[in-house]
Copies of this chain bind each other. A is one copy, B any other.
Amino acid sequence: MGVYAGPVQDLIDELGRLPGVGPKSAQRIAFHLLKVAKEDALRLSHSIAEARDRVAWCQRCFNVSEGDLCGICTDDRRDATVVCVVEEPRDLVAVEKTQEFRGRYHVLQGAISPIEGIGPDQLRVKELLGRLDGEGVTEVILCTNPNIEGEATAMYIGRLVKPLGVRVTRIASGLPVGGDLEYADELTLGRALEGRRDVD
């Protein structure tokens, strides 16, 4: 462009690399950062550096962690025999918020996606298999996203884990609570029918 002074353009370029931030948003955020109190802008700059400095991956479950093991892996009250497999740390947080799960997690750090060139080797699958024996795991809950990549990943892991004599389950697909049958897409409604349960 050349209209902006160098450092402004640099900032816009860097912001534009963030996921979900288009050129217009990048420009808007950049001018916001130039306009707010200097300490507010520097706090963001600092927290990025700080997060990269202090945060690493849990050596067991690959959740974000400040130490070698994350808070969940070091919590003795959690049931070590059930492992919930998720794609990303944010999925782990979503499951935690339900307060329905008291086991441990395994964060794959992605899903199988041939289009993006992500195969099983780029995920933490080997590490999951390594945990099954040592931690006495009896059930693996496949909690990947109900989309093509997530389903493929779940299927792949299921095929690896089942022969080891560990119970493998998959979270249910169906209508969201509070949803409307009329507006459900066919795939979801089909899944809901397929996964019907006996009423007791």
Contacts and interface: CB of A to CB of B under 8 A. Distances in A.
Interface of A: 1, 3-8, 10-11, 13-15, 17-21, 25, 27-35, 38, 40-55, 64-66, 70-71, 88-90, 92-93, 96-97, 109
B96 A48 contact: no
Contacts of A7: 47, 50-51, 53-55, 66
A66 B32 contact: no
Contacts of A53: 7
B5 A34 contact: no
Nearest to A110: B35
Count identical subunits in the complex: 2
10 contacts: A3-B97, A4-B93, A8-B51, A14-B43, A20-B29, A21-B21, A33-B48, A34-B55, A38-B52, A41-B51
Given A44-B15, A49-B45, A90 B5 contact: no
